[in-house]
A and B are shown apart, each in its own frame.
Chain A
């Protein structure tokens, strides 16, 4: 596991570490999914394309997490894994294309935990640390 939860009294801080930026995004997404569900119970039956853009990598992290919350709500789906296909810079904007894997939400099957309302800019960080990439933010639950 290359993510951890940080002490925050009201909400939940997440920190993901990856050898690549893509990995850090993927693990950050996993950290969020595991706040909501037991992801080991979710099968990868559906693939939902995810697109997000922002002016910097840290904001892109918040953007992509919020996009997945939106898809989960509107498609009534539970995600267990996120795959980053590409992160590129177009002009001043960073763009991310990826796929979220999951299946239709089933309250009997999936061990639902706590709803995440939004990913926030609080404690938002994107850094290099010991050769790894670190992404961090607070989830409002």
Chain B
């Protein structure tokens, strides 16, 4: 199947509306991004991102465009980096538009330490974090919850953890949605999902999830950096994880519910994973209120991990835990109700972001007061060996892509290709020579996550910056990376 693609600007491309498409596809990328996507089509690859952007453009109620950010790569149903906004009356809600790791996201803690303070104790902090923050397949957390407490966590989100002494009340205002979305109904989450979560609160998980000690190499935007309270050579700690098994099981359960709903409501589906239900149907509402539980669960999980991280840093450096402040926390596998301008009219929409971050610009009331003049921080993860970025949301992003951003570098090679090309211990040694300590229980996992298996994060971030929808604030380099 051939797909036509037109250049709008050097950093934004369009797949014109044809056939069953209700809106065009719009992709942030440069020549290289687009050539890569077209090559996948030409080679007849079974999973290709461009086809996934087109499929989403065919879903009922989609508004403006089926969007993809510059870290676009093939996902299941939606492309990763995909953003789809839907009308509340006629639109649909989709499991694939959220993913199985509901509200997987990144939070960044600011320490008062400088790079020079940490060099001598790098190994010690690496070991302490590896010991204190459970990671990897089968890891369990120190927080054990009863069924009743799980329900409470699913409604209260990050506050649930704070109330139990995991973190501080002031953390809450620096979390997207204040760490809790409304309309979370634990009764719509299966007992199975809750059972899977009993031992997993406060665990990182595996795959691309990590906990990273980073230093700020460069500041690009002084005004935003001042608002965010960050400066050159400062030590930050980034946490990347999600809703763990609870989210996985919600996705698994509702995939079946929405498949039946697709048939019941006669929704044309171009890929089986893209099953969906009208947002206003009982099935759509049940999934949405369950997803909201998953979103809150991920906020609580990152809050619990922050506490373990603060404890480890306090132990090694003697810093007061309260002096390790939360910069921000953003999800990148979500579906949310948001108000946006559509053709000059303020409209409430259902926004799916699959491997894409919310990126609200200056002035939005959802942005914490101390950041409101510059726009919300966007936390973009690189790889074990490369840079991560802090960006900010812009007015143009609000106009062009429903206030959305990239979420990471995006994979360039499959995990199998990566394992054929690299060995885990060689990667760990090579990074050690560059001064980056990797702690992991899984050597093959380290090979799968090799920096070379990802797109160049500098290029990906640059595309969004040049397109004007996200702006660069700071660039960080890793010192210690704990992987699952």
Contact = CB atoms under 8 A, between A and B. Distances in A.
Interface in B89-143: 96, 99-101, 136-140
Interface in A51-71: 54, 59, 62-63, 66, 69-70
A56 to B, nearest CB: 10
Interface in A1-19: 5-13
B411 interface: yes
B379 interface: no
A120 interface: yes
A25 to B, nearest CB: 18
B319 interface: no
A85 interface: no
Contacts of A128: none
B100 A140 contact: yes
A7 B259 CA distance: 26
Interface size class of B (residues with CB under 8 A): 35 or more
Interface in B238-290: 245, 247-249, 251-252, 255-256, 259, 271-273, 275
Given A10-B73, A66-B252, A113 B137 contact: yes
A133 B292 CA distance: 39
Interface in B273-320: 273, 275
A138 B76 contact: yes
A121 B247 CA distance: 17
Given A7-B45, A9-B411, A120 B138 contact: no
Contacts of B275: 121
A57 to B, nearest CB: 13
Contacts of A72: 138
Nearest to B40: A9
B138 A114 contact: no
B377 interface: no
Given A73-B196, A76-B138, A114 B444 contact: yes
Contacts of B247: 117
B442 A73 contact: no
B415 A141 contact: yes
A137 to B, nearest CB: 9
Contact of B206 (A7, A11, A76, A115): A115
Nearest to A76: B138
A123 interface: yes
Given A8-B414, A9-B411, A12-B416, A115 B207 contact: yes
Interface string B443-466: 011001000000000000000000
Given A113-B445, A120-B273, A11 B76 contact: yes
A8 B272 contact: no
Interface string A74-116: 1010100000000000000000000000000101000111110
A135 B204 CA distance: 31
B70 to A, nearest CB: 15
Nearest to A72: B138
B138 A138 contact: no
Contacts of B205: 115
B339 interface: no
Interface in A30-68: 36-37, 54, 59, 62-63, 66
Given A107-B138, A114-B207, A114-B445, A122 B77 contact: yes
A59 B46 CA distance: 19
Interchain residue pairs A-B with the least CB separation, the first 9: A122-B76, A112-B137, A122-B273, A115-B206, A121-B272, A121-B273, A118-B100, A105-B138, A117-B248
Interface of A: 5-13, 36-37, 54, 59, 62-63, 66, 69-70, 72-74, 76, 78, 105, 107, 111-115, 117-124, 138, 140-141
Interface of B: 45-47, 73-77, 80, 96, 99-101, 136-140, 192, 195-196, 198-200, 205-207, 245, 247-249, 251-252, 255-256, 259, 271-273, 275, 411-417, 441-442, 444-445, 448, 484
9 contacts: A7-B416, A9-B73, A9-B411, A111-B442, A112-B136, A112-B138, A119-B252, A123-B47, A140-B76
Given A78-B138, A112-B136, A113-B206, 10 more contacts: A13-B47, A37-B137, A73-B245, A105-B137, A105-B138, A111-B442, A113-B444, A115-B207, A121-B77, A122-B77
